[in-house]
Amino acid sequence: MLLIKTYIAQSAIEGVGVFAAEPIGKGASIWRLDLDFDRLIPMEKYEAAPPHLKELLDRYAYPSPDRPGFMVYEVDNGRFMNHSERPNTDFSQYGGATAIRNIAAAEEITCDYGEFFEDFARLHLAMA
């Protein structure tokens, strides 16, 4: 669940992205896993899902780094956060994220998917 005000807009990275609705200071907590707002989907449910739902989850969910056998699907704007090799957030501590520098209002909020999705680099190279 995002802990900051955001909005969705067209992204120069890909499709749409999530943007800061107000300035965010370096070190600010920006996200935490909140089971009231983030869904943990058992992998067996994912595997049994119809193709259109699997496509949605393939795009917007990721394997839970600390709960094997589950995928995390964020129901807020967090699911639109794009990957960057030089992100402005740190997701290396499971269950939470912080801003690693000041983020200006209207700036796209990015993260390194590899910090919480162990196989991202391999999958990304295979899809390239």
With a cut of 70, say whether residue 125 has pLDDT above it: no
Q: What is the CA 15 to chain-centroid distance, rounded?
A: 15
CATH number at residue 32: 2.170.270.10
pTM over 0.95: no
Residue 33, domain member (yes or no) = yes
Domain that holds residue 87: 6-38+74-126
Which comes out higher in pLDDT, residue 86 or 66?
A: 86
* CB neighbours of residue 72 within 10 Å: 22
Query: What is the per-residue pLDDT across 6-24, written as a single tens digit (0 to 9) for each?
Result: 999 999 999 999 999 999 9
Alpha-carbon separation of residue 27 from 77, 96, 120 (angstroms): 20, 12, 25
The tokens of 120 are what? Answer: 């991202």
Residue 32, domain member (yes or no) = yes
CB–CB of 109/6 below 8 Å?
yes
Residue 111, domain member (yes or no) = yes
Query: What is the per-residue pLDDT across 37-50, written as a single tens digit (0 to 9) for each?
Result: 899 999 999 999 99
Q: How confident is the model at residue 123 (pLDDT cuts 50, 70, 90)?
A: low
Number of domains in the chain: 1
